[in-house]
Amino acid sequence: MKSVLIIGAGQFGCHIVRRMREMRCEIMMIDTSEERINSILPYVTNAQIGDSTNADFMGTLGIRDFDVCIVTISGNFQNSLETTALLKELGAKRVIARAQNDVQEKFLLRNGADETVYPEKQTAVRLATRAASEGILDYIQMDKNVSIYEISVPAAWDGKTVSQLDIRRRYHMNIIAVRAEDGLAIPMADTVMHTNDSILVIGSLKDIEKACRG
């Protein structure tokens, strides 16, 4: 069970809390607003009203004991930056900070963040990828060149097995799973493709688009 400190009880922070609660994490939430803290209390292990840029206050929280600290502050980048730097000074094992633009991302990484999340950009890229393609249903970016995509089974693949299609050699991508009406399944060499199914694949966008064209 992971111990998590989340700073900022806005919408983004609350979405993280609810998901982490489902994953049985021990969660402490910090925010300056009593109203926001009261609303999140049913979902966290502990919560405190306080200023995350105040070293004396933060020093009472036992920062070293948390497996990960997540800074979700929005609308006040100075506070986000100061909080991120302070967490590292207090011995945080891992700090993840929210950025709202490329400049913020660079400053956060230079000032103590081990990782940044950029939800507006990530959501925009994800939406654009889905909307611009006929075959791509969803995707998760893994790095600059390779991502996991969910694509519709191309018409030219209908009725053929994974072995017959020779997907790895022809398209330089790997099938992770097949999604049919009864859920996800790990494909075997003799798994038959159907156009009413979708598949999860890992590869580059260029190769995925080639595969979508059949």
Domain boundaries, the chain: 3-117, 122-212
pLDDT band at 132 (very low <50, low <70, confident <90, very high): confident
Query: What does the pLDDT look like over 112-122, one tens digit per residue?
Result: 999 999 888 88
pLDDT at 129 over 90: no
Residue 137: pLDDT above 70? yes
Highest mean pLDDT out of 74-78, 121-125, 210-214: 74-78
CA distance 207 to 199: 14
- The CATH number of 3-117, from 3.40.50.300, 3.40.50.720, 3.10.20.600, 3.10.180.10, is 3.40.50.720
Written as one letter, the residue type at 34 is E
Cα dihedral: 8, 12, 13, 16 (round 10) = -170
What integer pLDDT is reported at residue 106 of this predicted model? 95
Confidence of residue 214 (pLDDT cuts 50, 70, 90): low
- For the cut 70, the answer to whether the pLDDT of residue 136 exceeds it is yes
Q: Give the bridge partners for 29, in sequence order.
A: 6, 47
56-83: pLDDT as tens digits: 999 999 999 999 999 999 889 999 999 9
88-110: pLDDT as tens digits: 999 999 999 999 998 999 999 99
Cα–Cα distances in angstroms (integers) from residue 183 to residues 98, 106, 150, 190, in the given order: 33, 40, 14, 18
pLDDT tens digits along 5-21: 999 999 999 999 999 99
CA distance 209 to 133: 8
Indicate the class that CATH gives domain 122-212. alpha beta
- Cα dihedral across residues 46, 107, 82, 34: positive or negative: negative
pLDDT digits (tens, 9 = 90+) for 150-186: 999 999 999 999 999 998 899 899 999 999 888 889 9
Q: Kindly report, residue by residue over 25-36, the tens digit of the pLDDT.
A: 999 999 999 999
